[in-house]
Amino acid sequence: MGLSRQQATENRQLIITAAEKLFRERGVDAVGLTELTKAAGFTHGGFYNHFESKDALVAAVMNQAMESRARRLIAAIAQSRAMRADPIKRQIDWYLSLGHRDDIESGCPISTFAGDVRRLGAEARKSYADGVALNLDYLADALDGTNKKERRKRASAILSRMVGTLILSRAVVDVDPDLADEILKDGRRQLLLALANS
């Protein structure tokens, strides 16, 4: 007897979830199908019942990660507005925090997958690019000002600085924690200063 549609959907999600965890921890290229299927509790054959290739899985992972990030950003902006707090300032404070830096498993996929994305298949790269664009839209909408084009430019600068700061801090934290903390702290301070002066 075959799997029910619901069970097949659940099994597919198990594979995506296991893959996202491994990809975040070690990078997409460092994870093979044998390890992926074992982590998800499936065989190679079971994997191919859900995905035609590793590239198809990577695209599904990227799509899920970027959609999840967009939902979390929307919720964070709404929460900030409900608290009458500056949503951009709160986003900077969270993004460039020690907790977010150390939370590779569920942190922002824009920074987590930045080093991998150029080597991925076209569909995964498109999901990543669409996710970045969506984040820019939401950040731009949260900024003050009437000129939409200028808000989008500011959002691009803010996101770029946050991602770059986080990536550098993560890159050195294992060998030089003090330097990693300095990069994060100074990056956050300079970005908040630029936000206050804009």
CATH code of the domain containing 35 = 1.10.10.60
Determine, yes or no, domain membership for 56. Answer: no
- Tens of pLDDT along 71-90? 999 999 999 999 999 999 99
Q: Are residues 141 and 180 in the same domain?
A: yes
- Tens of pLDDT along 109-120? 999 999 999 999
* pLDDT mean across residues, the chain: 92
Q: Are residues 98 and 153 in the same domain?
A: yes
Using the predicted structure, report yes or no on whether residue 3 has a pLDDT greater than 70.
Answer: no
Residue 67, judged by CB atoms within 10 A of its CB (0-12, 13-18, 19+), counts as: middle
Q: What is the pLDDT of residue 5?
A: 79
| Token pair of 119 as six digits | 């080597």
- Tens of pLDDT along 148-162? 999 999 999 999 999
Q: Are residues 69 and 150 in the same domain?
A: yes
Using the predicted structure, report yes or no on whether residue 45 has a pLDDT greater than 80.
Answer: no
Q: What is the pLDDT of residue 21?
A: 92
Q: What is the pLDDT of residue 124?
A: 96
pLDDT band at 44 (very low <50, low <70, confident <90, very high): low
- State whether the Cα torsion 70-181-114-18 is positive or negative: negative
CA gyration radius, the chain:
19
Rounded alpha-carbon distances, angstroms, from residue 35 to 30, 79, 115: 10, 39, 21
| Percentage of the chain modeled with pLDDT above 90 | 73
Q: Are residues 40 and 71 in the same domain?
A: no
Give the domain range for residue 169. Answer: 61-196
Q: Looking at residue 30, what DSSP letter applies? A: T
Q: Are residues 159 and 104 in the same domain?
A: yes
Q: Are residues 110 and 171 in the same domain?
A: yes
Residue 70, judged by CB atoms within 10 A of its CB (0-12, 13-18, 19+), counts as: middle
Number of domains observed in the structure of the chain: 2
Quickly list H helices, 43-147: 44-48, 54-82, 87-95, 98-102, 109-112, 122-142
Q: What angle do CA 81, 71, 58 make, to 5 degrees?
A: 155
- What secondary structure does DSSP assign to 57-77, as a single string? HHHHHHHHHHHHHHHHHHHHH
Q: Are residues 66 and 47 in the same domain?
A: no
pLDDT band at 1 (very low <50, low <70, confident <90, very high): very low
Q: What is the pLDDT of residue 8?
A: 74
Determine, yes or no, domain membership for 32. Answer: yes
Q: How far apart (Å, rounded) are the C-alpha atoms in residues 31 and 25?
A: 10
142: which residues sit within 8 A by CB, 6+ positions away?
A: 77, 80, 87, 88, 91
Decide: pTM greater than 0.75.
Answer: yes
Q: Are residues 68 and 129 in the same domain?
A: yes
CATH code of the domain containing 81 = 1.10.357.10
